[in-house]
Amino acid sequence: KLSTRLDTVASFVEEGATLADIGSDHAYLPCHLVKLGRIQKAIAGEVVKGPYESAVKNVRKKGLSDEITVRLANGLEAIHESDGVDTITIAGMGGPLIASILSNGHEKLQNVKRIITQPNIHASSIREWAVQNGWKIIDEEILKEDHKIYEIIVLEQGHAQYDDLEMMVGPYLLDRKSNVFIEKWTRESDEWKRVLGSLENAGNTNEIIEKKEQLQKKINLIGGVLSN
Ligand code: SAM
């Protein structure tokens, strides 16, 4: 059985999609979707030998070698033009790493319809990448599993604008303000306040003043949300 985190990522993959799961590790996500019959064909890409081998083994064990091609490759290099990939999932990495994988492989994205990302940290770097590269957010999810909070951002081609608060916390998540969302941002905001407090007596170099201003700005932005 898939984790709730991966199951939620999977739920955004459309029926009949041709999927590339980048950083697939054990290839649980494509295996799950093919076994469900939701998709018929997938690529599992891995850059590290150990996880790549575990993906190959797992796909073979489940008898899915005809449907799932596992490739040892860096980022979107796992995708070949003839694959006809229309959906990409990248889960379980930091937001900046996911954004750099998308940037480095941007020529592979031309015919891609949907990108589903699950950044472990710094989800805002994915929103920034999207805005700068002609993708828009079509949905988001936030969930808690084993005391960890995860965000999922779903992108499709198009243009959209978001204000600073939406870029930070996500336009759809902000709109819904779920309990998990409130918990996450209360935690973050408490941490920023703690750091800000610890900088009170840290001197007055430009660097420290700038850092304090940044923290205060974020505290103010989220404060408006949490006080409602
Ligand atoms: N996607 C799975 C999940 O969400 O459960 C596995 C997540 S695992 C923590 C991250 C995987 O991404 C690792 O197996 C790592 O080797 C792989 N990875 C990191 N950078 C990569 C890159 N540039 N290209 C392909 N895979 C990468």
Lowest mean pLDDT among 8-17, 113-122, 203-212: 203-212
- Is residue 48 within 6 Å of ligand 1 at its C-beta? yes
How much distance in Å is there from the Cα of 91 to the middle of ligand 1?
7
Q: Are 76 and 53 in contact (CB under 8 A)?
A: no
Pocket test for ligand 1, best of 47, 52, 103, 145 (most atoms within 8 A of CB): 47
Q: How confident is the model at residue 228 (pLDDT cuts 50, 70, 90)?
A: low
Q: How confident is the model at residue 106 (pLDDT cuts 50, 70, 90)?
A: very high
Residue bearing the CA closest to ligand 1, atom 23: 75
- Phi-psi region for residue 89, left (φ > 0), alpha (ψ -120 to 50) or beta? beta
- Is residue 93 within 6 Å of ligand 1 at its C-beta? yes
Q: Which atom of ligand 1 is nearest to the CA of 9?
A: 4
pLDDT in tens, 10-24: 999 999 999 999 999
Residue bearing the CA closest to ligand 1, atom 18: 23
- Is residue 68 within 6 Å of ligand 1 at its C-beta? no
How much distance in Å is there from the Cα of 50 to the middle of ligand 1?
11
The amino acid at 28:
Y
**Cα separation of 43 and 160, whole Å?**
29
- Is residue 54 within 6 Å of ligand 1 at its C-beta? no
ipTM above 0.85, yes or no: yes
Q: Write down the pTM of the prediction.
A: 0.96
The torsion angles phi and psi of 37, rounded to 5 degrees, stand at 85, 5
Q: Which two tokens stand for residue 160?
A: 């959209």
Is pLDDT above 80 for 166? yes
How much distance in Å is there from the Cα of 201 to the middle of ligand 1?
41
Residue bearing the CA closest to ligand 1, atom 22: 75
pLDDT at 207: 92
Distance of CA 147 to the CA centre of its chain: 18
- Is residue 30 within 6 Å of ligand 1 at its C-beta? no
Q: Which helix (H) or strand (E) holds 140?
A: strand 135-145
